[in-house]
Every structure is written in structure tokens, then in C-alpha cells.
Amino acid sequence: MQLTIASEADMMALGQRLAQACADGGCTVFLRGELGAGKTTLARGFLRGMGHPGSVRSPTFTLVEPYEILGRQIFHFDLYRLADPEELEYLGVRDYFGGDAICLIEWPERGAGKLPDADLSITLRFANGGRRADLAGQTASGVWILENLR
């Protein structure tokens, strides 16, 4: 699925729609794109769509920000500053995945070999003064999420 995103508000809205599409189960979402492409904005929209009323901090320095929203565990990772994928072992990364947890992972390529496969992969690119989002379901669950997003 390919979408055109004209503004920050549109990116937030996409995140909110994605949250509604993922609301019924756990999933792992990889967020790819250059610096400034909108990955954190999309994650912020997602968290708002799940019902998070507070501020949403970028986990650039902490690597992961946990949220509990209406009994759901949501983990927002930003692996940009990860020096070595092995560092994820020190975080206990395996404990974050599974069950009905939702994991949003920015810069997943920096955790290669230590992360599970994504259910959904989203690549954001600069295009015509806005952004283009390429969404791909990587598992049956990811395809189901895309169907719900439509």
C-alpha cells in the first residue's frame, strides 16, 4: 500500500488510523526512513490513536519508551543511536515482544539479528514537498492490519 502524506497532521492521522487497525492484537511495526521523514510523528499519532493523553517523547537516548494504555503494553523504540545490535541484549529486548504487546521500532536495521520479524513495515520518503509512505504486511497479521487500515 502506498500513501501520500501532505503534512504533519496527515502523518498523525495515519498513525491514529494505524492504531485503530492494530487495536485487536499484538504486532511489531518497523518504521524506516531518513532523519526527519516522520517516523516519530507517526508513532506519536499511533499513541494518540490508542488513547495516550500525555506527551510522547522520542526514545532517541533511552532506546525505548514504554506505555501502558488501557491495559495494553506499547513500546516505542528508536535505535538510531544504537552502536551495536548486541546492546539490545543488555536491554532484555526479547522480553518486549510477544503476547499482545505492540512494538513500534524506528531504525530497525540497526538492531539486525536481534529483533523479531516485523508484522508490518512502513518506509517513509520525502516526496513532492510532503511524504510518501510505503506499507507492507510481512506476516498474516500484518496483511490483516493493512486490510483494516483500508
Phi, psi (degrees; rounded to nearest 5) at 73: -90, 125
Is the distance from CB of 131 to CB of 125 less than 8 angstroms?
yes
Average predicted confidence (pLDDT) for the chain: 87
Closest to 13 in 3D by CA, of 143, 140, 141, 130: 130
| 59 burial via Cβ count (<10 Å: 0-12, 13-18, 19+) | buried
Average pLDDT over every residue of 118-137: 91
pTM more than 0.75: yes
pLDDT attached to residue 15: 92
pLDDT of amino acid 32: 94
The alpha carbon of 49 is separated from its chain's Cα centroid by a whole number of angstroms, namely 13
Asked whether the predicted pLDDT for residue 91 surpasses 90, the reply is: no
The string of pLDDT tens digits covering residues 23-67 is 677 889 999 998 888 889 999 999 998 889 877 777 766 788 988
Q: How many domains does the chain divide into?
A: 1
Mean pLDDT value of segment 118-134: 91
* pLDDT at site 128: 84
Q: Strands 64-69 and 72-78, how do they pair?
A: antiparallel
The DSSP code for 93 is G
pLDDT digits (tens, 9 = 90+) for 71-83: 889 999 999 988 8
- Supply the pLDDT for residue 9: 92
Domain residue limits at 8: 2-149
On the question of pLDDT at 123 being above 80, the answer is yes
* Residue whose grid cell is 487495536: 23
Confidence of residue 148 (pLDDT cuts 50, 70, 90): confident
- CATH (domain of 143): 3.40.50.300
